[in-house]
């Protein structure tokens, strides 16, 4: 099947040293086993994005801000995502972080406001 690209939602995550960063990534994949994808996985596009976001959050939360780079995240998360995709019948061709920046989040009556560059 055709190559597809999805983008993770922008998420704000606290690092191991208490800094807040915003992260967003792009995943390129193709479906290799349609039966698995269409029959065994409900809403595979969303499932793939959500798994990537879990991996991103886990990685960022376990690292200090000075150790976070686009490359180190990609190297750590791509193999995990590939393994997950393989189980679902997808081939993850690429995973790349397109946004990784320190932010300051202000919460006013339940509404979050992000200030880039914190």
Summarised one tens digit per residue, pLDDT across range 19-35 is 999 999 999 999 998 88
Summarised one tens digit per residue, pLDDT across range 85-116 is 898 889 999 999 999 999 987 666 665 555 65
- CATH of residue 90's domain is 3.30.479.30
CA-nearest of 23, 20, 16 to 73 is 23
| Contact present, 17 and 68 (Cβ < 8 Å) | no
Query: Does the predicted TM-score (pTM) go above 0.95?
Result: no
Domain residues for 29?
A: 3-116
Total domains present in the chain: 1
Please tell me the distance from the alpha carbon of residue 36 to that of residue 111, in angstroms, as a whole number: 40
């Amino acid at each position: 099947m055709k190559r597809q690209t999805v983008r993770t939602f922008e998420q704000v995550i606290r690092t191991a040293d208490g800094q807040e960063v915003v992260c967003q990534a792009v995943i390129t994949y193709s479906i290799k086993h349609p039966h698995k994808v269409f029959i065994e996985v409900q809403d595979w596009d969303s499932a793939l994005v959500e798994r990537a976001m879990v991996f991103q959050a886990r990685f960022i939360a376990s690292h200090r801000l000075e150790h976070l780079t686009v490359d180190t995240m990609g190297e750590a998360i791509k193999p995990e995502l590939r393994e997950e995709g393989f189980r679902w019948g997808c081939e993850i061709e690429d995973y790349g972080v397109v946004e990784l920046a320190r932010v300051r989040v202000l919460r006013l009556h339940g509404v979050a406001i992000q200030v880039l560059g914190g």
